[in-house]
Structure 1
Amino acid sequence: MTNLGDLEVFVRVIAAGSMSTAARDLGLSPAVVSKRIKRLEDKLGTRLLQRTTRQISLTEAGQGFHERVLTVLGGLEEAEAFASGRSSEVNGTLKISASTSFGRMHVAPHLKPFMEAHPDLAIHLVLSDEFTDIVGGGFDLAIRIAELNDSSLVARRLAPVRRVLCAAPSYLAAHGTPETLDDLKKHRCLPAHNHESWRLEGPTGPITLRPEGMLITNSSEVIREAVIAGLGIALRSTWDVGAELKTGKLVQVLPRYESSRNVALSAVYPSRQFLPAKVRLFIDYLAELYGPVPYWER
């Protein structure tokens, strides 16, 4: 039977992205980590990792093996918590992925109560606007704002997401307020990414626009600041600009049109028969924090 410690070393190497980093995290030497990975490969009779001087990557066999090992280790963690009656007492590290803006505005400010309730649990929060490979990155869960179609992952809806067209009063005073979607062609629009499509739903059903923007950036936060400064019209989530809409810094335009109602805020995690207590507790915490009518909508 395969040594359980070797499996844990293997998973840590994938999460860390290198043997040297994993060795440092585990308090082992890189040579010992390499030896244990080789022992695991010899035991299985197949190569799990492709190694170069700069990085490692999973082979096809390694990818499938990694997914199944995560299931095994997750089940063991849940079984230990159940058997010891410590289902609400969690420890170790909870690795979370979230988008940069949402993580900064609506995750980080709320970590303190959760961490104080679970003092033996460390949080590893990774913020990025790039698509995150949850399994390959060793994440316990990701907080995503999207239409979710990946059947290999499990998702729990945390809150609805509304995106509205908005602009600063100063911009509307200078350029006028659009009354129809066709009027947007005469205005400065601020798509979050170059060539981004705006998918809206209105009185006649769904419609897709491809606004032409004068500002090109890879940062959604730059677009946020630009629309507040009066540079143009943008399609923004209410979790992002709810405060500005309430105070009047921004005004909703064409209110009959909003983004697709299929987009939601969800907690996404690898499909496992047993969900680790630390993941379940954090998802429950977020679900209660946000809810069907999230605080930025109240």
Structure 2
Amino acid sequence: MTNFGDLDIFARVVSSGSMSTAGRALGLSPAVISKRIKRLEDRLGTRLLQRTTRQISLTEAGQGFYERVLSVLAGLEDAEAFVSGRSARIQGTLKVSAPTSFGRMHIAPHLKPFLDAHPDLTLNLVLTDEFTDIVGGGFDLAIRIAELGDSSLVARRLAPVRRVLCAAPAYLASYGTPEDVEALKHHTCLRPHNNDAWRLEGPGGAVLYRPEGRLVTNSSEVIREAVIAGFGIALRSTWDVGQELKDGRLVRVLPSYEGSRNVALSAVYPSRQFLPAKVRLLIDYLAELYGPVPYWER
């Protein structure tokens, strides 16, 4: 039977991407770490890691094994918490990925109560607008705003996401207000850098429109500031521009149309039977904070 310590060492090597880093965390030398990994591979009769002088990567067998090891280790943590009655005393580091703007606006302001309630917990919050490799990056959890497809990951819906077409009053005063989707081609539209089409839902059903404009950027925050400044029409989430819509700095354009309702705010995590208590607590906290009618919609 495989030694559970070897599984923990393997998981730490993968999450850190380095035997020396894993060794420092565990108080073991790189030579000992290497020996334990080789012992595990010999026991399984397959290579789990590809080693070069610069990096370590998972083999195909190693990837599948790693996902299952995470499940085993999470189950052990859950069992220990149940037996010891320490579920309220959460420890360790929780590594979370989230979109840049959403993380700044709707996660960061609410972290203090959560961390105050769990003083032994450290949160490593990584903000990026790219979809991170949760398993390969060693993330416990990712917050995503997307229409999620099939994957080996588990997703829990935290809140609906409404996206509306909007523009500054000054822009509409200068260039007029479009009366239908077809009229958007006569306007400056602030398009995403990947040139994805706008998936809209309106009175006649789903509509696909590919926006055109003179500004291309990989920054969602640049698009936000540009639409407020009167540069054009944008498709924005209400969590992002709700206050501007309320105070009149932005107004709805084609109000009978909205972005696809399949897009949602979700917590995504590796598939496992038992979630670590620290991950479950943060997911529950965010689900209660946002809810079916999130505060930016009230």
User: What TM bracket, shorter-length normalisation?
Assistant: over 0.9
Which secondary structure state, in structure 1, belongs to the residue aligned with residue 137 of structure 2? coil
| Alpha carbons 1:193, 1:220 under 8 Å: kept | no
Determine the C-alpha separation between the residues in 2 that align with 1:34 and 1:26. Answer: 13
Determine the C-alpha separation between the residues in 2 that align with 1:262 and 1:235. Answer: 15
Determine the C-alpha separation between the residues in 1 that align with 2:11 and 2:221. Answer: 34
Determine the C-alpha separation between the residues in 1 that align with 2:213 and 2:17. Answer: 38
Determine the C-alpha separation between the residues in 2 that align with 1:277 and 1:228. Answer: 41
Determine the C-alpha separation between the residues in 2 that align with 1:251 and 1:287. Answer: 29
| Alpha carbons 1:88, 1:281 under 8 Å: kept | no
Instruction: Determine whether 1:100 maps to 2:106.
Output: no
After superposition, residues 69-84 of structure 1 pair within 5 angstroms as 69-84=69-84
The match for 1:91 is 91
The match for 2:216 is 216
Determine the C-alpha separation between the residues in 1 that align with 2:20 and 2:250. Answer: 49
Structure 2's unaligned 5+ residue stretches are none
Determine the C-alpha separation between the residues in 2 that align with 1:229 and 1:22. Answer: 48
Determine the C-alpha separation between the residues in 1 that align with 2:255 and 2:88. Answer: 44
Determine the C-alpha separation between the residues in 1 that align with 2:151 and 2:50. Answer: 27
The match for 2:39 is 39
Give 1:195's aligned amino acid: N
Give 2:16's aligned amino acid: A
1:209 deviates by 0.4
TM-score by length of 1: 0.96
The match for 1:61 is 61
The match for 1:13 is 13
Determine the C-alpha separation between the residues in 2 that align with 1:43 and 1:106. Answer: 47
State the number of aligned residues. 298
1:194 deviates by 4.1
Give 1:233's aligned amino acid: I
1:215 deviates by 0.7
After superposition, residues 131-210 of structure 1 pair within 5 angstroms as 131-210=131-210
The match for 1:280 is 280
| Alpha carbons 1:194, 1:213 under 8 Å: kept | no
Determine the C-alpha separation between the residues in 2 that align with 1:134 and 1:164. Answer: 30
| Alpha carbons 2:67, 2:271 under 8 Å: kept | no
Q: For 1:43-64, what per-residue CA distance to the aligned partner results, in whole angstroms no more than 9, with x for missing partners?
A: 2222111122222110011011
Determine the C-alpha separation between the residues in 1 that align with 2:42 and 2:209. Answer: 55
| Alpha carbons 1:166, 1:252 under 8 Å: kept | yes
The match for 1:260 is 260
Which secondary structure state, in structure 2, belongs to the residue aligned with residue 288 of structure 1? helix
1:151 deviates by 4.3
Determine the C-alpha separation between the residues in 2 that align with 1:284 and 1:146. Answer: 20
- CA 249–20 in structure 1, closer or farther in 2 if over 3 Å, else same: farther
Give 1:292's aligned amino acid: P
| Alpha carbons 2:13, 2:19 under 8 Å: kept | yes
1:27 deviates by 3.7
Decide which moves more: 268-277 or 71-80: 268-277
Determine the C-alpha separation between the residues in 2 that align with 1:68 and 1:50. Answer: 19
Deviating 4+ runs (over 4 angstroms): none
The match for 1:238 is 238
Q: For 1:228-285, what per-residue CA distance to the aligned partner results, in whole angstroms no more than 9, with x for missing partners?
A: 1111111011111111111111111110000111111111112211122111111110
- Percent identical: 80
- CA 208–276 in structure 1, closer or farther in 2 if over 3 Å, else same: same
Which secondary structure state, in structure 2, belongs to the residue aligned with residue 83 of structure 1? helix
| Alpha carbons 2:156, 2:266 under 8 Å: kept | yes
Determine the C-alpha separation between the residues in 2 that align with 1:257 and 1:78. Answer: 46
What RMSD, in angstroms, separates the aligned Cα atoms of the two structures?
Answer: 1.4
The match for 2:48 is 48
Which secondary structure state, in structure 1, belongs to the residue aligned with residue 173 of structure 2? helix
TM-score by length of 2: 0.96
The match for 2:271 is 271
